[in-house]
Amino acid sequence: MHRDSNAKLTRREWLSASALASGALLFGLDKLELPQAAASIQDDPFRGGRQLGVVPFIGEGRGEMETLLGEGLDGRLYTELSALAPENPVVPAEKFYVRTRASKLLDDTKPWTIRVGGLVKQPVVLSLSDLRKSAKPAGLHLLECSGNARLGHFGLLSAADWAGAPLTEILDQVKLDSRAARILISGFDRYPVPSATSIPGASWIFTLDEIKSAKAFLATEMNGKPLSRDHGAPVRYFMPGWYGCTCIKWVDEISFVAEDIPATSQMREFAFRTHQQGVPQLAKDYRPAFIEQAAMPIRVEKWLVDGKIRYRVVGILWGGSRLINALEIRFNPDEDYVAVDHFQQSANDPWSFWWHAWTPKNPGAYLIRLRVKDPPVAARRLDSGYYVRSLEITEV
């Protein structure tokens, strides 16, 4: 299967595909053509069985899921990924992850404006009504916090249907100074109380080519409704395919800057988590903060089939810029990797679903790890075991 780099789906395409995929995955038909579907039902290892429950992952913390916790820079909401399914690939806005909550100092009662300035011939001030008039459907996009981790059940990861104003259309209206080389996106980021985990200064610096390539936009809607405060209302910058730390909330300024501009405090804070070499002091030395290819299980279902216990491992695949042909799984370091039973990647963004039938030999602890078999792709977190998940099997 071949698609363009950075393959993405519109909401219409995704819903059409997921409607087909949901039935395919349910009966194990996702690798087959439609005319063969009826015959392949006989090959479904769970056909006629009964799901007994879900085996929980262990060693991942005990925090509440899908509940707003903390304030300001320490505010969090973790998405419960185990509820995802091909027929429900979009995360509702109220369950979409939050890494930083809106400041109590943020005054959204006044008319919101974004100043476009810096190294330009004439600054421009954009009103919220201007942006809404320019807003267009942007399709389904995934967002992952670069600090997404096991202790939060990897819940700083979500996908939604977005709408907003394409940034290039806005930038094209501005006449530039000859020294303008990069674009600084900044958002309101002041808080009444210092953070225990982070520093204020929401901003990131991009090249125009990066913005064009990603088809970046100023988001005003999520899942058909205006953004909530905690998701960046009234305006959030969205850089598809990049980590969430680059997708600035509460955007109030866009500045054209020189080539030798220093990196922002946010760029320095997230340098390690966005796979930079050290902590570069200049913005030009930062690599694009791409979300590389990743995969992990999101639930392990326990089934009773023909009087025997069987397990179905269900997972997601996301990130990267190339569709992959082969995904492999193993259940402990002393085992060999095997091909995932039912896998077909439809897009790099938002995510694709897979599942694998598993019959463990003995009760005990298991570590589920995946890898990309073909083609070779950048997947540093996946290759390092970052998304390994543990569980305890008590019945076989």
Asked if the structure places residue 277 within a domain, the reply is yes
**Do 246 and 309 belong to one domain?**
no
State yes or no: pLDDT of 383 exceeds 60: yes
**Do 259 and 381 belong to one domain?**
no
Digit-coded pLDDT (tens) for 218-268:
999 999 999 999 999 999 999 999 999 999 999 999 999 999 999 999 999
State yes or no: pLDDT of 36 exceeds 90: no
**Do 204 and 298 belong to one domain?**
no
Winning range, highest mean pLDDT, from 7-16, 27-36, 369-378: 369-378
Q: Which residue has the higher pLDDT, 201 or 365?
A: 365
| Region 274-294 average pLDDT | 98
Asked if the structure places residue 333 within a domain, the reply is yes
Q: What's 172's domain CATH number? A: 3.90.420.10
| Region 357-367 average pLDDT | 97
Asked if the structure places residue 134 within a domain, the reply is yes
Q: What is the mean pLDDT of the chain?
A: 91
CA distances from 199 to 186, 230, 236, 281 (A): 14, 17, 19, 17
**Do 298 and 372 belong to one domain?**
yes
Asked if the structure places residue 4 within a domain, the reply is no
Q: Out of 285, 317, 344, pick the residue that ends a domain.
A: 285
What is the pLDDT at residue 15? 44
**Do 78 and 22 belong to one domain?**
no
Sign of the alpha-carbon dihedral angle for 370, 374, 378, 384: positive
What is the pLDDT at residue 156? 99
Lookup result for tokens 């970052």 = 386
Asked if the structure places residue 149 within a domain, the reply is yes
**Do 210 and 298 belong to one domain?**
no
What are the structure tokens assigned to 280, written together?
């570069």
**Do 82 and 177 belong to one domain?**
yes
What is the pLDDT at residue 331? 98
What is the pLDDT at residue 42? 54
State yes or no: pLDDT of 209 exceeds 50: yes
What is the pLDDT at residue 17? 43
Q: Out of 285, 312, 328, pick the residue that ends a domain.
A: 285
Q: What percent of the chain has pLDDT over 70?
A: 89
Asked if the structure places residue 5 within a domain, the reply is no
How many structural domains does the chain have?
2
What is the pLDDT at residue 384? 98
Q: Out of 251, 285, 319, pick the residue that ends a domain.
A: 285
What is the pLDDT at residue 118? 98
Confidence of residue 28 (pLDDT cuts 50, 70, 90): very low
**Do 100 and 177 belong to one domain?**
yes
What is the pLDDT at residue 16? 44
State yes or no: pLDDT of 39 exceeds 50: no
| Torsion angle defined by CA atoms of residues 112, 118, 123 and 128, in that order, rounded to the nearest 10 degrees | -20
Q: What percent of the chain has pLDDT over 90?
A: 86
Q: What's 383's domain CATH number? A: 2.60.40
State yes or no: pLDDT of 298 exceeds 50: yes
State yes or no: pLDDT of 19 exceeds 60: no
State yes or no: pLDDT of 31 exceeds 70: no
From 22-26, 138-142, 181-185, the region with the lowest mean pLDDT: 22-26
Asked if the structure places residue 200 within a domain, the reply is yes
**Do 228 and 90 belong to one domain?**
yes
Q: Which domain holds residue 118?
A: 72-285
Digit-coded pLDDT (tens) for 122-170:
999 999 999 999 999 999 999 999 999 999 999 999 999 999 999 999 9
**Do 24 and 108 belong to one domain?**
no
What is the pLDDT at residue 346? 87
Asked if the structure places residue 152 within a domain, the reply is yes
**Do 261 and 333 belong to one domain?**
no
**Do 274 and 170 belong to one domain?**
yes
Q: Which of 278, 356, 359, 348 has its CA nearest to residue 318? A: 348
